[in-house]
């Protein structure tokens, strides 16, 4: 078969050595480990998590949290997607080449640093939401395999070449984790026709400055389900007819 996708670009099954010698490594390792461990933890029985969107296998929960009047609601989503692997999901989420194709809140994206095959630093600006100021973010992104899970963790950082709050944008702070696990019926060989990938997506955004709580919550309520549905169907379309990468 013809391989249209370069195999070496898929998330590596082990941590890239170039990452472990980078100054950000201790933070990247600690936060990724914490996020991945927490990702699949239940929301059902815990107090404070409210279900705000449900469609097919997708369930989205939030916990209302305000600090000095600013909305910092942690969000957690669970979903199940057929026909694509955890590794493929993470490949499309991590690799900047595809980002404009599924990320609808994005205005610009700049690669600030290519640390290794599994870690990068990005600067992004987002579409302005009236009546708030436009936001930007600077964050590292790391993809890894952890046991039976593939996951991408994004977390805000700083860089002297990209100072916060100097132009039109207010810098927001983000911690995001997309964790994925693939299963197939016992005793069967995994194929596009028999695999299911369980997804846990967690996001906490600190808007970094004043934004009206009602507007922000309305935007999140509309945009997060839109993002997860669009991203997962995008990956299914991209993988259709390509050899399965586990
Ligand atoms: O996780 C998502 N995307 C990743 C790749 O871009 C990355 C992005 C994180 C930034 C999340 C910021 C969300 C805020 C979007 C609206 C703009 C806020 C303006 C506030 C002022 C009123 O992890 C998917 C993110 C999906 C977001 C709906």
DSSP per-residue letters across 119-169: EEEEEEEE---TTSPPEEEEEEEEEEEETTEEEEEEEE---TTS-TTSSSP
Beta strand pairing call for 196-206 and 173-183 = antiparallel
Is the Cβ–Cβ distance between 139 and 155 less than 8 Å? yes
pLDDT of residue 42: 78
DSSP element (H, E) containing 103:
none
The protein residue with its alpha carbon nearest to ligand 1, atom 27, reads: 224
Q: How far is the CA of 189 from the centre of ligand 1 (A)?
A: 37
pLDDT digits (tens, 9 = 90+) for 126-147: 999 989 999 999 999 999 999 9
Residue 120 φ/ψ, nearest 5 degrees:
-145, 165
**Selection from 34, 95, 86 nearest residue 199 by Cα:** 86
DSSP element (H, E) containing 223:
helix 213-239
pLDDT digits (tens, 9 = 90+) for 27-78: 999 999 999 999 998 776 667 789 999 999 999 999 999 998 899 999 999 9
Query: Ligand 1 site: residues with CB under 6 angstroms?
Result: 99, 103, 105-106, 124, 126, 129, 132, 135, 137, 154, 174, 176, 205, 207, 211, 216, 219, 223-224, 227
Candidate from 58, 128, 176 with most ligand 1 atoms within 8 A of CB, to mutate:
176
Please report the domains of the chain, with CATH numbers, ordered by start residue. 25-41+52-184+193-239 (3.30.530.20)
Residue 121 has pLDDT above 70, yes or no: yes
CA distance between the termini of the chain: 17
Q: How far is the CA of 221 from the centre of ligand 1 (A)?
A: 12
| Burial environment of residue 206 by CB neighbours within 10 A (0 to 12, 13 to 18, 19 or more) | middle
Q: What is the ipTM of this complex?
A: 0.92
């Amino acid at each position: 078969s013809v391989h249209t996708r370069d195999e070496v670009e898929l998330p590596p099954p082990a941590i890239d050595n170039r990452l472990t010698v980078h100054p950000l490594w201790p933070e990247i390792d600690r936060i990724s480990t914490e996020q991945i461990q927490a990702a699949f933890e239940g929301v059902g029985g815990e107090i404070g998590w409210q279900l705000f969107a449900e469609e097919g296998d997708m369930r989205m929960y939030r916990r209302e949290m305000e600090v000095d009047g600013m909305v910092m609601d942690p969000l957690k989503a669970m979903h199940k997607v057929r026909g694509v692997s955890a590794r493929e999901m993470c490949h499309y989420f991590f690799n900047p080449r595809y980002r404009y194709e599924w990320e609808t809140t994005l205005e610009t994206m700049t690669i600030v640093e290519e640390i290794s095959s599994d870690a990068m630093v990005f600067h992004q600006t987002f579409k302005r939401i009236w009546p708030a100021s436009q936001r930007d973010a600077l964050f590292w992104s790391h993809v890894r395999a952890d046991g039976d899970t593939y996951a991408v963790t994004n977390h805000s950082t700083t860089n002297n070449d990209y100072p916060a709050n100097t132009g039109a944008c207010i810098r927001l702070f983000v911690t995001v984790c997309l964790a994925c696990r693939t299963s197939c019926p016992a005793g069967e060989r995994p194929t596009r026709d028999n695999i299911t990938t369980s997804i846990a997506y967690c996001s906490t955004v600190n808007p970094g400055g004043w934004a009206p709580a009602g507007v922000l919550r309305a935007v999140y309520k509309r945009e997060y389900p839109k993002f997860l549905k669009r991203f997962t169907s995008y990956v299914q379309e991209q993988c259709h007819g390509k050899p399965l990468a586990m």
